[in-house]
């Protein structure tokens, strides 16, 4: 069975702090994709990143970075020097290749960044 666990329900930080959002996934397939989406108060899900199971290279995009570790089935997301605009719900999602393009989402982590 495929499953995504985001154990942190809510995180509260003060602006400029670094924050890491955890994501643990379960799948028996060897080919899969992992995603992070941001859901601001407006409600739209905004795509942040996609990684495939064969590429464990970490990625950095501005203040965002992602750490993919197959050994622990984790795909964690770090925001450096957080800003108030980062306040949102963040979802990690899993897509297994070979079938339909079906995303399985975690329950999300609500991040509140205070000035």
Beta partners for residue 105, in sequence order: 93
Give the interface segment with other proteins, choosing from 12-20, 22-30, 78-86, 101-109 (CB under 8 A): 101-109
Report the distance separating Cα 107 and Cα 85, nearest Å.
21
List binders of other proteins among 53-92 (CB under 8 A): 91
Q: Which of 50, 64, 70, 85 contacts other proteins by CB under 8 A? A: 50
- What's CA 74's distance to the chain center, in Å? 10
Q: Are 73 and 26 in contact (CB under 8 A)?
A: yes
Instruction: For other proteins, give the closer residue by CB, 37 or 79.
Output: 37
Number of residues that bind other proteins (CB under 8 A): 23
Stretch 6-45: interaction string toward other proteins, x if CB under 8 A: ---------------------------x---x----xxxx
> Is 47 an interacting residue with respect to other proteins (CB under 8 A)?
yes
Locate 34 and state its tokens: 């992992």
Q: How far is CA 5 from each of CA 12, 25, 73, 89, 108, rounded to the nearest angstrom?
A: 19, 6, 10, 14, 9
Locate 2 and state its tokens: 């495929």
Q: Which residues contribute to the site for other proteins (CB under 8 A)?
A: 4, 33, 37, 42-47, 50, 52, 91, 93, 95, 97, 100-103, 105-108
């Amino acid at each position: 069975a495929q499953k995504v666990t985001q154990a942190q329900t809510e995180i509260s930080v003060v602006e400029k702090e670094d924050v890491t959002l955890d994501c643990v996934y379960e799948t028996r397939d060897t080919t899969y994709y992992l995603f992070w989406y941001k859901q601001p108060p407006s409600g739209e899900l905004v795509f942040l990143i996609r990684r495939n199971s064969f590429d464990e290279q970490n990625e950095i995009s501005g203040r965002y970075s992602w750490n993919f570790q197959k050994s622990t089935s984790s795909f964690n997301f770090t925001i450096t020097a957080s800003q108030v605009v980062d306040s949102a719900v963040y979802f990690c999602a899993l897509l297994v290749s070979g079938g339909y393009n079906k995303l399985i989402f975690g329950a999300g982590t609500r991040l509140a960044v205070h000035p």
